[in-house]
């Protein structure tokens, strides 16, 4: 009873309800809330602190920034989303906040588009060497574990894989170390209308999640940048649930040494037995790899499944034979 009253008291205020409505749309910083709400930083911070302490919002770090998101675990998450659902989107203050947030997102999209434009030529040059992205995306969609609810995309980059796969799960999260890529991914997801995907800054060698958190983990064209691919796969295996899968997309071995110089690749592709050995060492069962020939580069999809725990075999009941229990 007391916990419920705490939640209700925290939400029962004009500005805090507006904050919850905004948080339902995007993970925002204090400065974002200041810009949208038109209130001072100390006042906004005080409201955010109350919502976090009540368990309606969660706080997380991204480089030097702190972002806030709706709580997403347990009965409290369902309650806060019910609060948001009941808000009238046509209410003048809610509608104004939405328009201001749209303006903030538009500025981000403009900056993201500039970043993409500045780097587009080198990415287009690389894409021309391998199979079309849509073929890989279709294959990944097909090989998602049946009934997968939570997905993690490691090294999410532009967020493209989240655009494709998020509609097929309940919740998708993308992690990347690059702030520029995080901004680009957020802009792309907002433009695509994806509302069940979160973007977070994270290190693929130390993912900011508890063990057994996801039904599927994707690592799409990331390992060739990794100094230690085996460690990255071991960390992916740590956060995947029993019965879940790790899906790895990368290049097969090749001799395009210019990719090291011009695109900062650390590895010139990977052999099947190499990736399967890493998956096996990480405690996953490797499945048959899938290959997609391209103009100069072959792309592979390597899959590793984490076994469900074996059921304990029940011990037979003791049987009494001629007065002797066996």
| Low pLDDT (below 50) residues in the chain | 318-326
Distance CA 147, CA 169 (A): 8
pLDDT at 132: 77
Domains, the chain, ordered by start: 2-101 (1.10.10.10), 129-305 (3.40.50.150)
pLDDT at 130: 76
pLDDT at 126: 62
> What DSSP designation does 319 have?
-
Q: Would you say 203 and 177 are in contact if contact means Cβ atoms under 8 Å apart?
A: yes
Distance CA 87, CA 130 (A): 48
> What DSSP designation does 117 have?
H
Q: Would you say 199 and 182 are in contact if contact means Cβ atoms under 8 Å apart?
A: yes
pLDDT at 217: 98
pLDDT at 241: 96
Q: Which of 163, 185, 244, 168 is nearest to 209 (CA)?
A: 244
pLDDT at 326: 37
Contacts of 159 (CB under 8 A, 6+ apart): 174, 184, 185, 186, 188, 189, 197, 199
pLDDT at 320: 41
pLDDT at 305: 96
Query: Is the CA virtual torsion 97, 98, 99, 105 positive or negative?
Result: positive
Q: How many residues does this entry show for the chain?
A: 326
CB atoms within 10 A of CB 33: 25
> What DSSP designation does 28 have?
E
48: left (phi over 0), alpha (psi -120 to 50) or beta: alpha
Contacts of 148 (CB under 8 A, 6+ apart): 168, 169, 215, 216, 244
> How do residues 30-82 score in pLDDT, each as one tens digit?
989 999 999 999 999 999 999 999 888 988 876 667 888 888 767 778 888 88
pLDDT at 265: 83
Q: And the tokens for 224?
A: 């060739």
pLDDT at 277: 93
Q: Would you say 11 and 80 are in contact if contact means Cβ atoms under 8 Å apart?
A: yes
CA distances from 241 to 154, 164, 211, 231, 238 (A): 16, 22, 8, 18, 8
Prediction pTM value: 0.70
Q: Would you say 211 and 241 are in contact if contact means Cβ atoms under 8 Å apart?
A: no
Distance CA 90, CA 201 (A): 34
């Amino acid at each position: 009873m007391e916990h419920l009253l705490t939640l209700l008291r925290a939400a029962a205020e004009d500005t805090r309800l507006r904050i919850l409505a905004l948080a339902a749309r995007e993970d925002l910083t204090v400065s974002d809330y200041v810009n949208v709400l038109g209130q001072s930083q100390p006042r906004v911070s005080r409201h955010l602190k109350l919502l976090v302490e009540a368990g309606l919002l969660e706080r997380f770090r991204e480089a030097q920034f702190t972002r806030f998101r709706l709580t997403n675990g347990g009965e409290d998450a369902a309650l806060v989303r019910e609060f948001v659902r009941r808000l009238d989107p046509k209410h003048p203050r809610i509608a104004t906040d939405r328009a201001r947030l749209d303006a903030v997102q538009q500025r981000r999209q403009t900056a993201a588009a500039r970043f993409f434009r500045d780097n587009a030529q080198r990415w287009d040059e690389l894409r021309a060497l391998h199979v079309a992205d849509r073929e890989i995306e279709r294959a990944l969609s097909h090989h998602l574990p049946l009934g997968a609810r939570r997905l993690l995309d490691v090294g999410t980059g532009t967020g493209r894989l989240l655009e494709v796969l998020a509609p097929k799960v309940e919740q998708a999260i993308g992690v990347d170390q690059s702030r520029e890529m995080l901004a680009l991914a957020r802009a792309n997801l907002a433009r695509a209308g994806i509302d069940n995907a979160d973007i977070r800054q994270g290190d693929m060698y130390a993912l900011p999640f508890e063990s057994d958190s996801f039904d599927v983990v994707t690592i799409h064209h990331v390992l060739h940048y990794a100094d230690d691919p085996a460690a990255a796969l071991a960390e992916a295996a740590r956060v995947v649930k029993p019965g879940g899968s790790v899906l790895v997309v990368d290049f097969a071995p090749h001799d395009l040494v210019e990719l090291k110089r011009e695109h900062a690749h650390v590895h010139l592709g990977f052999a099947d037995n190499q990736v399967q050995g890493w998956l096996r060492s990480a405690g996953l069962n490797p499945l048959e790899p899938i290959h997609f020939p391209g103009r100069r580069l072959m792309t592979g999809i390597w899959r590793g499944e984490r076994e469900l725990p074996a059921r304990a075999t029940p011990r037979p009941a003791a049987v009494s034979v001629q007065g002797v229990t066996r």
